[in-house]
Copies of this chain bind each other. A is one copy, B any other.
């Protein structure tokens, strides 16, 4: 799979599958309506739904759950060349995870504009995170302490280069 090689037919197939997962999960458990399908070389290798209600894990978004399952199955934290199909607009947590794992592309069906009416938008989090650190609601402060006279990052470099 090279970049941008997803065909309209496969995009529709996998998005439909992501929406079906969301719908099944909503109907079965009352979960928030989000599903995701993670595809490598045209094959589904992992899926996820929003599991926050069932697990109380605030990071159990559909996309993050699929990413974790895919990494477990592939035995690697790297997901280069994989494509995510999500029913909803990825939130910044999930999007950052996609960036960091090398996901190639993400397609989604319901954007934040649509979700806003239902309280299912993460646009406010995106807006917040676009601000400089010192202007975000969450107080973010660097306090550059270096206890014990040992520099953590120097130690890491010594351990990993020996």
CB-based contact B52/A59 at 8 Å:
no
Q: Indicate with 1 or 0, residue by residue over A141-162, a CB within 8 angstroms of chain B CB atoms.
A: 1111111101011011101100
Q: Indicate with 1 or 0, residue by residue over A1-31, a CB within 8 angstroms of chain B CB atoms.
A: 0011000000110011001101100110010
Instruction: Report B-chain residues with C-beta under 8 Å of the C-beta of A71.
Output: 56-58
Within 8 A of B (CB), among A53-111: 56-59, 64, 67-68, 71-72, 74-79, 87, 89-101, 103-111
User: What bracket does the count of chain A residues touching chain B fall in?
Assistant: 35 or more
Number of copies: 2
CB-based contact B138/A59 at 8 Å:
no
CB-based contact A59/B59 at 8 Å:
yes
CB-based contact B157/A118 at 8 Å:
yes
9 smallest A-B Cβ distances: which pairs? A58-B77, A93-B96, A105-B139, A92-B96, A33-B156, A118-B153, A16-B147, A58-B101, A111-B142
For this complex, 10 residue pairs linking A to B, each with C-beta atoms less than 8 Å apart, are A11-B143, A15-B143, A23-B152, A59-B68, A92-B93, A93-B96, A104-B139, A105-B139, A105-B140, A114-B144
